[in-house]
Amino acid sequence: MVTASHNPKEYNGYKVYWGNGCQIIPPHDAGIAAAILDSLHPSSLAGSSTQGAPLDRAAWQQAVAAVTSHPLVSNPMVKVSEEYWHRLETLRFRSAGENAAAAAAVYTAMHGVGASYVLRAFQVMGLPPPVMVAEQEAPDPEFPTVAFPNPEEGKGAWRLAVETGEASGARLLLANDPDADRLAVSERCAESPGGWRMFTGNEIGILLADWLWTCTRTRVHTPASNANADAQRSTLAQHAAKYSVLSSAVSSQMLAAYACAEGLTWCETLTGFKWLGNRAKELEAEGHTVLFAFEEAIGFMLGPMFRDKDGVAAAAVMAELAAAEYAAGSTLVDRLERLQQRYGYYVTRASYFVADQPSKSRAVFDRLTAGGQYPQSVGGIAVHSVRDIGAGRDTGALDGTVSLPWQKGDMMLTLRLDGAATLTLRASGTEPKLKYYLEVNGSDRAASEALADRLVDAVSNEIICWQESGLSLPTTS
- Residues forming the active site: 5
Counting Cβ atoms within 10 Å, is residue 277 exposed (0-12), middle (13-18) or buried (19+)? buried
Q: How far is CA 435 from CA 142, 280, 365, 429, 464, in A?
A: 27, 26, 12, 11, 10
The Cβ of residue 113 has, within 10 Å, a number of other Cβ atoms equal to: 17
The 3-state DSSP class for residue 160 equals helix
Contact indicator for 123, 116 with CB cutoff of 8 Å = no
CB proximity list for 331: less than 8 A, separation 6 or greater? 171, 187, 189, 325
Q: Which amino acid is at 229?
A: A
- Cα–Cα distance, 179 to 109 (Å, whole number): 9
Contact indicator for 269, 299 with CB cutoff of 8 Å = no
Contact indicator for 434, 471 with CB cutoff of 8 Å = yes
What kind and span of H or E run contains 216? helix 201-220
CB proximity list for 363: less than 8 A, separation 6 or greater? 469
- Cα–Cα distance, 348 to 366 (Å, whole number): 26
- Cα–Cα distance, 423 to 148 (Å, whole number): 27
- Cα–Cα distance, 63 to 68 (Å, whole number): 9
- Cα–Cα distance, 191 to 448 (Å, whole number): 20
Residues present in the chain in total:
477
Counting Cβ atoms within 10 Å, is residue 156 exposed (0-12), middle (13-18) or buried (19+)? middle
The 3-state DSSP class for residue 50 equals coil
